[in-house]
Structure 1
Amino acid sequence: MSHSFPKLGSVESIIESLAAEGYICNEQIATVVYLAAALEKPILVEGPPGVGKTELAKSCAELTGAPLVRLQCYEGLDESKAIYEWKYGKQLLYTQLLKTQLAEVMEGATGLRESIERLHSFDDVFFSKEFLEPRPLFRAIDADDGVVLLVDEIDKADFEFESLLLEVLSDFQVSIPELGTVKGRSKPLVFLTSNDTRDLSDALKRRCLHLHIDFPTTELEGKIVRARVPQITEAMTDHLTSFVSKVRELDLKKLPSVSETIDWAKSLVLLHADSLDEELVRSSLNALLKYEDDLSTVVDNLTELLSQDVKASQAS
């Protein structure tokens, strides 16, 4: 059982290939992805929301040509939604359709014990793979070829779910009481993302390579914006990323994410803007900020933020 991701041949090739997919990353990110593929270990990607954790997994799937299997975590997530459940409706339907055959099986049985013994010899028929509904974790390890498995926002799930996940991450297998241990046919490239809303267990972290993605530097965010919004001018990109960097230094309820920077850049292109001024920022800031209190805070500091932006642009 193995996976093969030939396009992850080196750190440099990963940086170049991800850039071709529109994902601009630094050497640290590319190195962890390379090591994860080579060592066949999951990656635990932590960091604030909106910095590209989920997008990294999606881009690696595009890069390798492997299918993306995604499990979105939430409180109360259990094995019936994450690993498997039985198709009870199909089992019941088959039971009804096979009534005649069941009568033939039971014919001549004397007493309850013999009847149960005869039924028991056939119960495995209804607890076979044909009646199994595979969920994302099972689909990922049961695939003929390697897939990219994304376990998104693992910090939203319970500690109990982490325990279920450990078997999949360490041995690439799942235990099903009625079938026994089902070993994977291929090893997925696994990404687990966390927004740091709670501490994850040491057992989970031990099984993973760790990667922390923070808000990018102004220079890196400029490269990201130009890759995703090629119509934007270089001067506007510099102004925009410098302004966003200063906004993130404010005491806001939600700091603007990279994806929101990209949305704002697209908005400014649609508005045919070639520079930032107070009127333009006020009218378009909803694309960057999502809370009214945050909007008010930025507007109250707008003159200073724009003057800092101009100084930063002149310095560069």
Structure 2
Amino acid sequence: MRWFEEPSFNFIKAHKIAYYVSGILLVISVIAILTKGLQYGIDFRGGKEFVLEFEEAVEVVEVRSELTGPLGGAPEVKRFGSPQDILIRTDNPGSITDVQNTITSTMAEVYPGNEATVIKTDVVGPRFAEDLKAGAIQAIIFALIVIFIYILIRFKNWFFSAGAVAALFHDVLLVLGIFTIFGGIAPFSMQIDQAIIAAFLTIVGYSLNDTVVVFDRIRENSLLYKTMDYTDMVNKSLNDTLSRTVITSITTLFVVTILFIFGGEVLKGFSFALMLGVIVGTYSSLFVASSLVVELETRTKKA
């Protein structure tokens, strides 16, 4: 890491290239979302869930594979407490009794010597799903508004607020676009459910923390180097915090990657969203948020 001891990269000079890259990716994401549509999980679509208790532990992947055909689509399957308990969630349109009979009969065929007992059934209604969808959207919008106000109060300049919120919006939209494009293609579930919403809010927090560290250094350097050109001062601030930014991102990415590899099928979508968030969040802190601050500052002075 010796090349991070006294870095002198010209981040601001590359901001136009970053704008083009981000712009193209954002357009692709928006087009994908508008044309293909978001792939919501049962939390947002509504459906049925069953908890089965087996005499012996079974493999989640095998249960999902065996039920995909009879249920007309891949169900959401995960462990529910003990290794013998399995939670199955499906959006099959049949009655809850018919769906339950389909599941139990299939499990009886697949595991003839391992009896499964249904210990719980529940229905996620469309109305609840719509309320949950609206609540998730409101949570993200409210978070962005609060962040804008917080940055404005802390740095006493709306340029920083605009840069921070633009970077966060950029991060969430890109990750959402990737989930939309590769949903159904990836070998694991990329449906939007409560866990993915939690991942998006985590991405917002991570990216914001990284951005605030850079903004703090910009504020400090603006007082120390009052005669320095504003663009050069911001670039120096980015280089000053580069080592911290890279090390934090790499260590976080390492942990999240381990979670993706060894965390099981249920956590793959969540951990993949965090992996993307760390990468995109680091990029936006270096090339989007600060560059936008410089752009607004420059245009204001010219005006």
Decide: shared fold, TM above 0.5: no
Q: TM-score, normalised by structure 1?
A: 0.29
Q: TM-score, normalised by structure 2?
A: 0.30
Higher helix share: 2
Select the structure of larger CA radius of gyration: 1
